[in-house]
Homo-oligomer: A and B are copies of this chain.
């Protein structure tokens, strides 16, 4: 079973990614996700570059992006991601009231997705612009 690779034991290639994560996020150490991905330095570097690009504020702000990330993770039932992106969303300004409303929307969407499936509802012409 993979074990975490800590900074002290990491290759120069892995350390370079860890250093960039720490500098970008202003944190003293990277979280477990990156320590496990470090077993595959190519995937580690690509995933970090992708996450950095995708999560940078643009048309959507950081808080909205983290809340979308959390909504997907809750839908998929990924415990690690719920914990880590729940923390990240709160750090980016999600209040507990916002979290409650996010969860209500996620729950409702998962319910109505199945109602639409089960009743085999065809897409309205008005939505096919």
Residues of A within 8 A of B (CB): 1-2, 31-33, 36-37, 39-40, 42-43, 46-47, 50-51, 53-55, 58-60, 64-65, 67-87, 95-98, 100-124, 126-129
Closest Cβ of chain B: how far from A48's Cβ, in Å? 11
B residues less than 8 Å from A74 (CB atoms) = 114, 117-118
B residues less than 8 Å from A67 (CB atoms) = 64, 68
Other CB < 8 Å A-B pairs besides A31-B124, A65-B101, A83-B124, 13 of them? A2-B119, A40-B103, A40-B104, A43-B100, A43-B104, A54-B105, A68-B105, A68-B106, A69-B105, A72-B75, A72-B106, A80-B123, A111-B111
